Amino acid sequence: MPQPPADAVPLLKALTDYGERYRLEIGLSAGEGWIPADRLLDPASEELTRVLEAERTASGQVSAHATALTVMAVYAGTVTAPALLAWALYGEVLDVRPDNVAMRLDDHHGFAAIALRRPRLADTTQMAAGERLKLLVGQVLDEHLFPLADALRAHSRAGRRQLNGGIAQGCAAAFGAASRVPGADVDLLQRAYNDFLAACPAELGRLGEMVRLAEGGREGLFYLRRTCCLFYTADHGEKCASCCLDSVEDRIRAYRRILSSGTAPH
């Protein structure tokens, strides 16, 4: 495992080497339209409506529940992903609890920026590895992603299993995208993902499968989801990269092409 940075600021800088999905700004600049993450946990909040409407417009979605499923997967794969990578690489628990996180909307799919109010690491010096992992799962899932899924379900009537499928996919993406960065320690990230999944509620493990592939001298981790996010029902009609409507064989072939082409992870 790499030597952990002494505090959160250099850790945040180190995470950006693994891609834009792990970039977190520090502090909230005045007048830039930041949306507090804890406001999204209220299904009746104006902020949740704004996030859903922005994604609906950007993605061309035509139904409220499909929009909610898209938001859930994107959110889990970006907003809380840096905390998963910080733990996987350094054993640190980065504070991404809702009251410490905010985001700005974008004209495109996803978010323009994600920020921490305060760059904080949990004091885990006296904790065993299992206790650190339990703390991470509690903060990322129990305090953040699961309550957001509940709010999205109440707001849009999206199915709980499908929303949890978005959580499972987004969390897997935190490990998978990092594994495909040149020089990444795929063994470390695969072990970390397996440990993380084992500490999660069993249902998440049933919603998809992480596979390790090698092609053209490169290797990486890819997720095969078993729930549908309904992305294809948008005006554009395109499927997501791990659409469960495609066969496992077709998805693996597509993933191998990504490796052989040297396409940067996203």
Please spell the DSSP secondary structure of 166-179, one letter per residue.
HHHHHHHHHHHHHH
Three-class SS state of 16:
helix
Q: Where are the domains of the chain?
A: 8-261
Quick check: 1 pLDDT over 80?
no
Which of the residue ranges 27-36, 37-46, 133-142, 164-173 would you say has the lowest mean pLDDT? 27-36
Which of the residue ranges 107-111, 170-174, 255-259 would you say has the lowest mean pLDDT? 107-111
Predicted pLDDT of residue 165: 96
Quick check: 150 pLDDT over 80?
yes
pLDDT digits (tens, 9 = 90+) for 35-79: 999 999 999 999 999 999 999 998 888 889 889 999 999 999 999
Q: To the nearest whole number, what is the mean pLDDT of the chain?
A: 91
Per-residue confidence band for 265, with pLDDT thresholds at 50, 70 and 90: low
From 88, 136, 115, 123, select the one nearest 7 (Cα to Cα): 123
Note the pTM of the prediction, 2 decimals.
0.93
- Rounded Cα–Cα distance for residues 63 and 50 (Å): 15
- Rounded Cα–Cα distance for residues 8 and 171 (Å): 21
Residue 139 tokens, joined: 């903060």
Quick check: 4 pLDDT over 70?
no
pLDDT digits (tens, 9 = 90+) for 193-252: 999 999 999 999 999 999 999 998 899 999 999 988 777 777 776 777 788 888 999 999
Mean pLDDT, rounded, for 144-165? 96
Predicted pLDDT of residue 3: 52
From 200, 252, 262, 198, select the one nearest 221 (Cα to Cα): 252
Per-residue confidence band for 107, with pLDDT thresholds at 50, 70 and 90: confident
Predicted pLDDT of residue 59: 82
Quick check: 163 pLDDT over 70?
yes
- Rounded Cα–Cα distance for residues 85 and 137 (Å): 13
Which of the residue ranges 136-140, 198-202, 254-258 would you say has the lowest mean pLDDT? 254-258
Mean pLDDT, rounded, for 120-134? 93
Predicted pLDDT of residue 236: 76
Per-residue b/e over 253-265, b at no fewer than 16 CB within 10 Å? eebbebbeeeeeb
Quick check: 131 pLDDT over 60?
yes
Q: How far out from the chain centre does Cα 145 lie?
A: 10
From 168, 164, 10, 166, select the one nearest 89 (Cα to Cα): 10
